[in-house]
A and B are shown apart, each in its own frame.
Chain A
Amino acid sequence: MSCFLAPATFRGALSQSFQVPGTPTVLMFASWLSHLSVSEDLAIYMLGCAYVLSLLFVALGLFTRTSLVMAWFLHWTFMNSNDTTNYGADLFAQVFLFYLMLSPAGSAWSFDVHLGRIDSKPTSAARLCLRLMQFHLCIMYLASGIEKASGIQWWNGELLWRALNTPIYKQYDMSWMIDYPYLTQLGGWATLFFELGYIVFIWPRSTRRWWIMAMVGLHLGIAVFMGLGVFGVLMAMLTPALFAVSAEPQAIAIGAHLPNRFSWRDDATSAALGSEQAT
């Protein structure tokens, strides 16, 4: 909970220095609730609890769409409340909560389906959202790779050396790496290779598994060796979740009623988008 409530570090006029202008913030809601004699502290805890509850409901697939709207909005609100405390994990959570909110996320493995509240039939919206998420991830890795490649630290091995020995990230004594400079250099090159190559090699079946394993390894390494647990685990899950599953729904015949160019059976589109069955 302390992570979620970190935005409350600053209050009053100072908080405005760290807020994103014109966006909903925790203190804005606290101000509204103060008219109901709710203290600021209690308001912050209420919002924090609502956020955690909404995520729990999303995980269970219970009132999934409503819960996702609430989770996304509260997540965005917390992010706006103190921009300086945010980092990559928050950004990716926001991005993918937004996509999930628009997608039929509750149509599989959910209590909503089990209780008969929603239909589990595949929809064209599911495929569109999956493609958007896949392309977004490709753009992200390409942009990240290009920016990294522009810095000398990623080429000469300094990056890993510094990152693993900087107090805020340091988890273990990695000073022994000074005797093996090629290790840090190789690590930097490998990161550049897999990030820059992601947009191309994640699609063909023959190379996809290698990129999935590389990305899982890279991000679990970040979680273990740099202590960025939430970021590492979140990112490690994204590539398998988006690329280790088929974009083709099991009930292919569902699309038979659609015009051919938008049909699930459109093999040309499938091939162009790289939607081979998972290997």
Chain B
Amino acid sequence: MSSRFYPALIVLGGLHLLLVILGASYTDLFAFGPVGEVINYYGEMTGSNKSYGFFAPGVGAQARTRFEMIDASGKSTQVSLENSRSHEADLRINNITSQMTPDSDEVDVEEAARDLRRSVAASLAGKVFGRFRTARSVIVHVDEFNPVNMPEYRLGQRPKWEEIYQATFVQDQAASEVPK
């Protein structure tokens, strides 16, 4: 690299780090109009517009999805899309499931949240239909994990799963939903 360009590269590097700082401090780049949009796109490409709030300010909500597959004879079987062979893959599936919790950041508009939740449930049910060809209907259960803090645990309370959503999907028929 020619030394002529070195100062310019240092300036570019400094601007890149400035974007890292803006991203880490949750600055809304879209507020700066079209220029902000371009900068944000660069941030998306480079990962420099991201924040770093891992486990901050605390442990987030956890959810799980259970699938109840019912075959032609009416026999019910519990199945899962998480195969436990790869914890990383299970984590990612769990992240998708967390989109169906009511307080998820991604679904803060009630109606949109319902639509998205139903679409995600239908998509996941479709996966189950694809994996288990004998399935005639699939009931999707979404549970939210209710943790207990240390004082509550000492008093005998225990963490538990609470069902927050249920939907039944039948092949070639409309789904019936039971929001909790």
Chain B residues lying within 8 Å of A241, measured Cβ to Cβ, are none
| With A91-B50, A139-B17: A165-B159 Cβ-Cβ less than 8 Å | yes
**Beta-carbon contact of B56 and A150 below 8 Å:** yes
Chain B min CB distance to A58 (Å): 17
Of B41, B53, B87, B147, the residue contacting A166 (CB under 8 A) is: B147
Of A22, A80, A144, A258, the residue contacting B3 (CB under 8 A) is: A258
| With A23-B44, A87-B91: A139-B20 Cβ-Cβ less than 8 Å | yes
**Range class of the A interface residue count:** 35 or more
Chain B: how many interface residues by the 8 Å CB criterion?
60
**Beta-carbon contact of B95 and A147 below 8 Å:** no
**Beta-carbon contact of B119 and A17 below 8 Å:** yes
State in angstroms the CA–CA spacing of A95 and B19 once bound together. 13
Residue A268 CB within 8 A of the other chain: no
Which A residues, 109 to 166, have Cβ-Cβ distances below 8 Å to chain B? 123-125, 128, 131-132, 135-136, 139-144, 147-148, 150-154, 157-159, 161-163, 165-166
Residue B174 CB within 8 A of the other chain: no
Chain B min CB distance to A42 (Å): 16
Q: Is chain B's binding surface mostly helix, strand, loop or mixed? A: helix
Of B25, B48, B51, B56, the residue contacting A151 (CB under 8 A) is: B56
Chain B min CB distance to A105 (Å): 14
**B34-54 toward A: CB 8 Å interface, digit per residue (1/0)?**
000000010011111011111
| With A147-B57, A153-B57, A165-B147: A128-B9 Cβ-Cβ less than 8 Å | yes
9 closest Cβ contacts across the A-B interface? Answer: A151-B57, A143-B24, A147-B56, A153-B58, A85-B92, A95-B47, A94-B47, A144-B52, A147-B53
Chain A interface (Cβ within 8 Å of chain B)? 2-3, 6, 9-10, 14, 17-18, 20, 22-23, 76, 80, 82, 84-88, 91-92, 94-95, 98, 123-125, 128, 131-132, 135-136, 139-144, 147-148, 150-154, 157-159, 161-163, 165-168, 175, 178, 181, 184, 227-230, 258-259, 262
Chain B interface (Cβ within 8 Å of chain A)? 1, 3, 6-7, 9-10, 13, 16-17, 20-21, 24-25, 41, 44-48, 50-59, 62, 64, 83, 85-96, 98-99, 106, 116, 119-120, 123-124, 127, 145, 147, 149-150, 153-154, 159
